[in-house]
């Protein structure tokens, strides 16, 4: 068998993507569906784990976007303070989307906006002590929850998969950067 259905002589039931590919193979036999073996599985994986991740953050009174904001501040290190521009560039969201999240987090006492000491027109976003503690507790809980999803892979397999995914992402990010560079020139 192909597509990882048979490994080491053991017949394993195919996954959702294998079933989709088989349907497409019947309907469009001339079409190469190999990209689905990786990208389709990545999408499927994201859809399978998303509810658990969102439930984890909801348990802390956060949605995923709000967690992303406080996590970005927390991992920036002391004093856990960034400009809105640094934040929305890191989060890859619009400034308007960030403002909405910041408003909710400020009302919840997790962040505060401070005037910059260097430029009176600029604002810094800082985690409060409560925000620091919540970001860390939520992240620790999320990592414990996510680690349970990896039980089907041994340590070596996890390391191999992580390395291959990193290589794929670096390649895609490089292609996108080169494309943006050629668009501006």
Q: What is the largest CA-CA distance in the chain?
A: 69
Three-state SS annotation for 117-152: CCCCCCEEEEECHHHHHHHHHHHHHHHHHHHHHHCC
Which CA distances in Å does 14 have to 21, 22, 25, 69? 10, 10, 15, 38
Query: Which neighbouring-strand residues pair with 126?
Result: 81, 112
| Rounded Cα distance, 4 and 24, in Å | 17
Q: Examine the pLDDT at 184 and tell me if it is beyond 80.
A: no
pLDDT in tens, 105-156: 999 999 999 987 777 678 999 999 999 999 999 999 999 999 999 999 999 9
- Percent of the chain clearing pLDDT 70 (strictly above): 92
Matching residue, tokens 């999408």: 43
pLDDT in tens, 10-54: 446 799 999 999 999 999 999 999 999 999 999 999 999 999 999
pLDDT in tens, 83-103: 988 898 888 777 778 889 999
| Rounded Cα distance, 65 and 37, in Å | 29
- Percent of the chain clearing pLDDT 90 (strictly above): 73
Q: H-type helices in the chain, by residue range?
A: 16-27, 35, 41-58, 64-75, 84-91, 95-107, 129-147, 155-184
Residue in 59, 131, 142, 140 with CA at minimum distance from that of residue 102: 131
Task: Give, as one character, the DSSP assignment of residue 81.
Answer: E
Long-range contacts of 73-77 (CB under 8 A, 24+ apart): 73/111, 73/125, 73/126, 73/127, 73/131, 73/135, 74/127, 74/131, 74/132, 74/135, 74/136, 74/139
User: Going from the N-terminus, what domains does the chain have, and what CATH number goes with each?
Assistant: 34-178 (1.10.10.10)
Beta 111-115 vs 81-82: how paired, if at all? Answer: unpaired
Q: How would residue 5 be classed by pLDDT, with cut points 50, 70 and 90? A: very low
């Amino acid at each position: 068998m192909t597509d990882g259905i048979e490994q080491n002589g053991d017949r394993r039931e195919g996954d959702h993507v294998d079933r989709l590919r088989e349907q497409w193979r019947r309907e469009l036999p001339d079409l190469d569906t190999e990209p689905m073996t990786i990208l389709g599985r990545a999408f499927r994986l994201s859809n399978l784990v998303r509810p658990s991740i969102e439930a984890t953050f909801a348990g802390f009174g956060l949605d995923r976007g709000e967690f992303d904001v406080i996590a970005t501040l927390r991992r920036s290190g002391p004093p856990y303070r960034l400009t809105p521009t640094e934040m929305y560039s890191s989060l890859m969201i619009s400034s308007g989307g960030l403002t909405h999240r910041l408003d909710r987090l400020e009302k919840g006492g997790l962040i505060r906006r401070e005037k910059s000491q260097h430029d009176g027109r600029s604002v810094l976003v800082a985690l409060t002590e409560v925000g620091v503690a919540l970001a860390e507790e939520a992240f620790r809980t999320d990592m414990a929850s996510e680690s349970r999803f990896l039980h089907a892979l041994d340590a070596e397999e996890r390391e191999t998969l992580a390395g291959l995914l990193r290589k794929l992402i670096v390649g895609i990010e490089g292609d996108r950067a080169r494309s943006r560079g050629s668009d501006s020139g």
